[in-house]
């Protein structure tokens, strides 16, 4: 039986409507993504709102005797659907740091998930609103996530918020009797000349603090660790060669802090402490705890998967005391590790 012209036309109309409905649905799903992508693609100078800036060197309170170190506060990427998301925990950590009102905060890198994303920086600004209200000085170093995307855009967002860094990717400052050196471990994103320049500068700063009679202790901060038992990221051998080895040769150096591994680890070499602290809210990494198979002797007796945390360092009577505050399941913070510089871990001490 041959179909009539009218029936064929009706079928064609139905097919056209079906295709149209699909197209409208696809466009509706795609449009928000395109709009969002377009917003992230705007360079910093074209942002629709003023970029928030944070307090710097001039706002350091010389009468406070403690500062805080935190690392890897980036959120979990949407593509990493199998990894944990710690958005609520990250907010609790940032709020607790602000509540303690330290002299300043050092961030060990990976402030955001994608450094070239305006949206991700806005999320960073949202949870750090209290930092700006209280004018808590903020001293970051660049992590690998902070350079994801186009470097020019990422650095524009980064330096726009921390203008007191004067476009410097590595820098130093002093606080009371402590010298602090912050270095950039993104070697592949630096030219050969820039890498050589940083190496020379770093050695010069170590020597300068070593000769300065007003400086008793030196702390070095870097994103990627020279030592880690992480099952996700590897220790950075260039960091060990360029930064850790010179650090070990100086008499005033005490703590070498790094992040990148989303865990907490504590190593000791020649009486100096190497601390891995990447517990600011990024998806946690498991570490190798088998004493016969792990490459480095971790002095912290923790489980494979360690808690989110931050570190607090206090100066008492010319001695540095350091402790780690863990975010517990009940939302409270508990000290899980503490150390006195150049001595064994403290068993009991009120800091």
- Summarised one tens digit per residue, pLDDT across range 30-43 is 333 333 333 333 34
345: pLDDT strictly greater than 80: no
In sequence order, what are the residues at sequence separation of 6 or more whose Cβ sits closer than 8 angstroms to the Cβ of residue 33? none
In sequence order, what are the residues at sequence separation of 6 or more whose Cβ sits closer than 8 angstroms to the Cβ of residue 152? 43
N- to C-terminal Cα separation, the chain:
93
Classify residue 345 by its DSSP letter: B
pTM: 0.84
Alpha carbon distance 285, 306 (integer Å): 8
* Alpha helices, DSSP H, located in the chain: 5-41, 87-100, 118-127, 129-134, 151-161, 192-211, 237-239, 245-249
Sequence spans of domains, the chain: 1-41, 54-340
pLDDT at position 49, please? Answer: 57
Alpha carbon distance 351, 336 (integer Å): 13
Phi, then psi, of 324 in degrees rounded to 5: -115, 125
190: pLDDT strictly greater than 70: yes
In sequence order, what are the residues at sequence separation of 6 or more whose Cβ sits closer than 8 angstroms to the Cβ of residue 183? 141, 170, 198, 202, 220, 221, 222, 243
**Average of pLDDT values for 296-311?**
97
Give per-residue pLDDT as tens, 200-250.
999 999 999 999 999 999 999 999 999 999 999 999 999 999 999 999 999
Alpha carbon distance 164, 128 (integer Å): 18
Query: Would you say 266 and 273 are in contact if contact means Cβ atoms under 8 Å apart?
Result: yes
256: pLDDT strictly greater than 80: yes
Q: What is the largest CA-CA distance in the chain?
A: 104
132: pLDDT strictly greater than 70: yes
CATH number assigned to the domain with residue range 54-340, chosen from the 4 options 3.30.70.1350, 3.40.50.620, 3.60.21.10, 3.30.530.20 = 3.60.21.10
């Amino acid at each position: 039986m041959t179909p009539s012209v009218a029936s064929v036309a009706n079928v064609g109309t139905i097919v056209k409507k079906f295709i149209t409905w699909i197209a409208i649905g696809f466009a509706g799903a795609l449009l928000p993504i395109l709009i969002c992508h377009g917003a992230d693609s705007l360079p910093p100078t074209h942002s629709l709102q003023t970029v928030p800036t944070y307090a710097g060197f001039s706002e350091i309170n010389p009468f406070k005797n403690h500062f805080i170190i935190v690392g890897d506060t980036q959120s979990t990427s949407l593509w990493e659907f199998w990894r944990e998301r710690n958005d609520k925990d990250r907010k609790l950590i940032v709020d607790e740091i602000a509540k303690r009102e330290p002299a300043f905060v050092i961030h060990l890198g990976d402030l955001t998930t994608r450094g070239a994303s305006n949206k991700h920086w806005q999320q960073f600004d949202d949870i750090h609103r209290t930092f700006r209200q209280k004018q808590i000085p903020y001293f970051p170093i660049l992590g690998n996530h902070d350079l994801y995307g186009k470097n020019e855009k990422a650095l524009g967002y980064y330096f726009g918020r921390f203008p007191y860094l004067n476009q410097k990717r590595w820098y130093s400052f002093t606080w009371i009797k402590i010298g602090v050196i912050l270095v950039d471990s993104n070697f592949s994103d630096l030219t050969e000349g820039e890498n050589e320049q940083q190496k020379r500068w770093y050695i010069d700063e170590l020597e300068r603090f070593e000769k300065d009679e007003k400086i008793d202790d030196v702390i070095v901060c870097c994103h990627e660790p020279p030592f880690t038992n992480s099952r996700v990221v590897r220790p950075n051998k260039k960091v060990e060669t360029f930064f850790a080895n010179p650090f070990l040769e100086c008499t005033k150096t005490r703590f070498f802090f790094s992040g990148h591994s989303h865990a907490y680890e504590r190593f000791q070499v020649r009486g100096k402490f190497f601390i891995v602290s990447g517990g600011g809210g990024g998806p946690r990494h498991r570490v190798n705890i088998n004493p016969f198979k792990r490459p480095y002797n971790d002095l912290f007796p923790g489980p494979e998967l360690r808690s989110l945390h931050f570190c607090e360092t206090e100066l008492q009577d010319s001695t540095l005391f350091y402790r780690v505050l863990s975010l517990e399941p009940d939302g409270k913070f508990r000290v899980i590790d503490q150390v006195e510089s150049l001595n064994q871990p403290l068993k009991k001490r009120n800091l």
